[in-house]
Structure 1
Amino acid sequence: MLCAIYKSSRKEGMYLYVEKRDQFEAVPDTLRQIFGQPIFVMLFNLKGKKQLVQASNQDVLAHIQQQGFYLQMPPLQESLLAQHKKQYLS
């Protein structure tokens, strides 16, 4: 199954996967507002041999089939304070 992948115009590292290109009807309005203008990245075959980097193809496919979309959040980053403490207090 092909899906379309979009990146957020507002939040770096946030991606939205939908079943068909430019089909956002299943995405809640609140999420669309937070996500901003979707920027098309690519089409991706979820049943192909190539694997996604930050999510499993099977999880993304299941979410798209159940709710019509999959939202990939940016990875959590350690706070600067925590980094400082590790560097100087270890």
Structure 2
Amino acid sequence: MKRICSIYKSPRKNEMYLYVLKAEALSRVPEGLLALFGPPVHAFDLVLTPERKLAREDIGQVLENLEKQGYHLQMPPPEDEYIQHLPDELLRRNDPV
């Protein structure tokens, strides 16, 4: 199953993305979700297949959500994941002396 998907980023929440089928655009996304998400900013289009790897999402779940509900919401990673990626020297600077 190959799907052409448009991906939108949220102007309100860093690293929050909304995947929709390109042909349907935002028509199946609930108004309440769009209100919380903010005005969607088109990031890019992508061809999704079951074999494709995504950096932070399970492709099977994304395709299933697109088929069943018409969208997939990618939430930002938990904040502790941001801290794990900081260089050690930055973490040491914030330690009390």
Q: What is the TM-score with the length of structure 1 in the denominator?
A: 0.79
Percent of residue pairs identical: 37
What is the identity, as a one-letter code, of the residue corresponding to 2:40? P
Contact 2:9 2:42 in 1 (8 A): yes
1:66 Cα deviation (Å)?
Answer: 0.3
Contact 2:50 2:60 in 1 (8 A): no
Contact 1:46 1:58 in 2 (8 A): no
Distance 2:47 2:14 in 1: 23
1:21 Cα deviation (Å)?
Answer: 6.0
Distance 1:22 1:15 in 2: 17
What is the identity, as a one-letter code, of the residue corresponding to 1:30? G
Contact 2:10 2:40 in 1 (8 A): yes
Runs of 4 or more above 6 Å deviation: none
Q: What is the TM-score with the length of structure 2 in the denominator?
A: 0.73
Distance 1:23 1:2 in 2: 11
Distance 1:22 1:42 in 2: 15
